[in-house]
Amino acid sequence: EPEVTQTPSHQVTQMGQEVILRCVPISNHLYFYWYRQILGQKVEFLVSFYNNEISEKSEIFDDQFSVERPDGSNFTLKIRSTKLEDSAMYFCASNPQGQNTEAFFGQGTRLTVV
């Protein structure tokens, strides 16, 4: 069964460093998303991506964040100059036709900023 894969599963980084979280969405899906969950809080939407550009972004997704789909298969989230409060589980998701279809989530990358 096709699945969304994320790497790495866990990343520890020093405050101020840049991190890149990687995702391989399901190949025939058209919509891609990043979400995060800070420990004990709700899953929060960060950004959606469609037709090779950002479609929607939340207030969380400021200039510190960027996304790319560099090669038609990978979908990356870059966080520049990480802060302690960026520590969270980051989930990638994809779906074939937008939000009236089920989204498929990866297992997440746990980011720890120290």
Partner 1 sequence: ILNVEQSPQSLHVQEGDSTNFTCSFPSSNFYALHWYRWETAKSPEALFVMTLNGDEKKKGRISATLNTKEGYSYLYIKGSQPEDSATYLCASSYSGGGADGLTFGKGTHLIIQP
Q: How far apart are CA 27 and CA 107, in angstroms?
A: 17
Q: Please give the residue ranges that form the binding site for partner 1 (CB under 8 A).
A: 3-4, 31, 33, 35, 41-50, 55-56, 58, 91, 98-108
* CA gap 32, 102 in Å, rounded: 12
Do 110 and 89 contact (CB within 8 A), yes or no? Answer: yes
- Residue 75 or residue 91: which is nearer to partner 1 going by CB? 91
For partner 1, the closer of residues 5 and 73 by Cβ is 5
Residue 92 in tokens? 């990638």
Min dist. Cβ of residue 108 to partner 1 (A): 7
Q: Which is nearer to partner 1, 17 or 55 (CB)?
A: 55
Q: Please, what is the minimum distance in Å from the beta carbon of residue 80 to partner 1?
A: 21
Question: What minimum distance in Å lies between the beta carbon of 88 and partner 1?
Answer: 13
Phi first, then psi: give them for residue 40, nearest 5 degrees.
85, 0
10-13/109-113 β-pairing: parallel
